[in-house]
Structures are given as C-alpha cells and as structure tokens.
C-alpha cells in the first residue's frame, strides 16, 4: 500500500510552519495510523532527515495523547475513535492524507504535530478533585450511591482529555471537557461540599485560558471518543449560574 502524507512541520512555537509531502510505500491495511507514521519516521532516520514529532502513549484509546487532525477531521474519518485506533484500511492505495495538529489558540504548537494541552491541567487544578481526609480507608458502603447517580458520574468521568472537542469546535471551546470534569464530581455525594466553588472556578479558568464560547453546534459530541453528550454543558451552565446566585 502506498500513500502520500501531507504533514504539518513546525520546528517550534514561534517558527513558521508548512505542509510537507512524504510518499510512503510498504504499508499494509492492518497497520494502525500511528504505525504508518512510525514507518515513515524509520525511513526519515535512514535518510538522515528530522523525524516527525507526534504524541502517543497507550495506543489503546485510553490516554488521549494521540490527537491529530486527519483530512480535516479530529482523529480521522470515523466518529468516536482515537487516532491510535484508526487503521490504514480506512484509506485507499494512492490516497493523499493531510495530517495536522489541533488548531486552537489555547493549544499552541510545540513542534510538528504536538500541541501544548497544559491548559486542561490548569482547569483541573481549579477544582477537578475532592478534599478528603487521608488515612485509613473508609468502609466501602459508608456512603451509599444509587446506580443512576453512579452511572451518570462514570459516564462523565470517561473523558480522556484528548482535546478533540476543542479541535473540532468552530469556536475552540473546552466546554465539553470542563463540563465532564465538573459533573463527574458534582454528581457524587463526596463532591457536594465544594460543588459551587468547583463550578465557578473551573469555568473561570477555562475562560482565562482563551478557549472560545460554546454555541451548541454539537460537533464536540460527534467527535468525542468517549461519546460525552453535550447535555453535560447545559448542566454545567446551570450549576455555574446557581452557584453565582448562591454567592
């Protein structure tokens, strides 16, 4: 299998980037997309060229590090999938595949296909945790949580923080990510004590980071690998409004 990759190359954040074409032979349909990039990098090493920088870790669709924009779509041509789960069978022999990093002001390019997603970390630092006494483990059933509440919290907690919601949103909004993190903890009794503070401070940090506003186009929901619904955003907005009214 032979394809042409048109890949965004950028030496560092302040450098001017450009797309550079690479013809790649010897691929198979069973290769993952990241294995195809590995194959290209091996060729670049043998040619004494600079390899393409891109992120990955688990290669199992869990860690969220592998985010790429492929042919104009976050994570590639399929919905609800991470880049590492994408295989070359999704493309045809002779295809030209355009690969670029996430595009958002709050996600500056570090090098080539790697962007700085530390803005997400700073949002989490403003409330993505609960304050709890440490020491002896509590009895597992000391706080009973109904299945409906537990399921709702777990669905929101499934967010892997890949940033596809930001990359695909025309406003580069982080509302889906932030709402998932807020609603995960605010739904549980352990998170009720700091619920109002969490809703205000995490959304405030989201705005400080330069993410755009949500206009409910739903693109984030379509591309989210974990199928986080945009109803989380409506719930986050309601929680924030209530928290501000309560002072």
Number of domains in the chain: 2
Backbone angles phi, psi at 77, to 5 degrees: -75, -10
Which tokens belong to 53?
Answer: 């920088």
Q: How confident is the model at residue 246 (pLDDT cuts 50, 70, 90)?
A: confident
**Beta carbons within 10 angstroms of residue 193's beta carbon:** 12
pLDDT value for 40: 98
Residue 137 and residue 224 in one domain: yes
pLDDT above 90 coverage of the chain, percent: 91
Residue 100 and residue 122 in one domain: no
Residue 241 and residue 126 in one domain: yes
Residue 25 and residue 138 in one domain: no
Residue 133 and residue 229 in one domain: yes
pLDDT value for 159: 97
Give the residue from 55, 76, 111 where a domain finishes: 111
Q: How confident is the model at residue 205 (pLDDT cuts 50, 70, 90)?
A: very high
pLDDT value for 83: 97
Q: pTM for the complete prediction?
A: 0.93
Q: How far is CA 63 from CA 134, 239, 242, in A?
A: 27, 28, 33
Residue 46 and residue 127 in one domain: no
Give the residue from 111, 126, 158 where a domain finishes: 111
pLDDT above 70 coverage of the chain, percent: 97
Q: Which domain holds residue 103?
A: 3-111
Residue 97 and residue 136 in one domain: no
Q: What mean pLDDT is predicted for residues 187-201?
A: 94
pLDDT at 225 over 80: yes
Strands (E), 101-147: 109-111, 114-115
Q: How confident is the model at residue 144 (pLDDT cuts 50, 70, 90)?
A: confident
Q: Encode pLDDT of 106-137 as tens digits.
A: 999 999 999 999 999 999 999 999 887 767 76
Q: What mean pLDDT is predicted for residues 144-161?
A: 94
Give the residue from 79, 111, 143 where a domain finishes: 111
Q: The domain spanning residue 66 has which CATH number?
A: 3.10.20.30
Residue 127 and residue 207 in one domain: yes
pLDDT value for 142: 76
Residue 44 and residue 123 in one domain: no
Q: What mean pLDDT is predicted for residues 29-58?
A: 97
pLDDT at 247 over 90: no
Residue 212 and residue 187 in one domain: yes
Q: What mean pLDDT is predicted for residues 171-198?
A: 95
pLDDT at 14 over 90: yes
Closest alpha carbon to 40 in 87, 3, 15, 78: 3
pLDDT value for 236: 97
Residue 140 and residue 228 in one domain: yes
pLDDT value for 164: 97
Q: The domain spanning residue 175 has which CATH number?
A: 1.10.1060.10
Residue 69 and residue 123 in one domain: no
pLDDT value for 137: 67
pLDDT value for 140: 61
Q: How many CA atoms lie less than 13 Å away from 89 in the CB half-sphere?
A: 5
pLDDT value for 131: 83
Q: How confident is the model at residue 161 (pLDDT cuts 50, 70, 90)?
A: very high
Helix 195-208 to helix 175-186 angle, to the nearest 10 degrees? Answer: 170
């Amino acid at each position: 299998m032979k394809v042409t990759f048109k890949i965004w190359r950028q030496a560092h954040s302040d450098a001017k980037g450009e797309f550079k074409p690479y013809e790649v032979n010897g691929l198979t349909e069973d290769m993952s997309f990241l294995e195809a990039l590995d194959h290209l990098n091996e060729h670049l090493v043998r040619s004494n060229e600079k390899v393409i920088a891109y992120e990955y870790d688990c290669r199992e669709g869990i860690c969220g590090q592998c985010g790429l924009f492929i042919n104009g779509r976050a994570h590639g041509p399929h919905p609800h999938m991470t880049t590492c789960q994408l295989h070359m069978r999704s493309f045809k022999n002779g295809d030209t595949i355009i690969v670029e990093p996430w595009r958002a002001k709050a996600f500056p390019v570090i090098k080539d296909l790697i962007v700085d997603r530390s803005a997400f970390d700073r949002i989490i630092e403003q409330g993505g945790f609960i304050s709890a006494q440490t020491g002896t483990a509590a009895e597992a059933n000391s706080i009973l949580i109904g299945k409906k509440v537990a399921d709702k919290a777990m669905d929101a907690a499934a967010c892997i923080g890949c940033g596809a919601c930001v990359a695909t949103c025309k406003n580069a909004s982080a509302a889906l990510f932030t709402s998932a993190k807020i609603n995960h903890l605010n739904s549980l009794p352990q998170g009720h004590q700091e619920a109002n503070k969490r809703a205000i401070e995490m959304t405030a940090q989201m705005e400080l980071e330069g993410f755009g506003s949500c206009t409910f186009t739903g693109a984030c929901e379509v591309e989210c690998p974990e199928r986080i619904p945009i109803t989380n955003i409506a719930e986050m907005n309601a929680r924030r409004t209530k928290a501000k009214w309560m002072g």
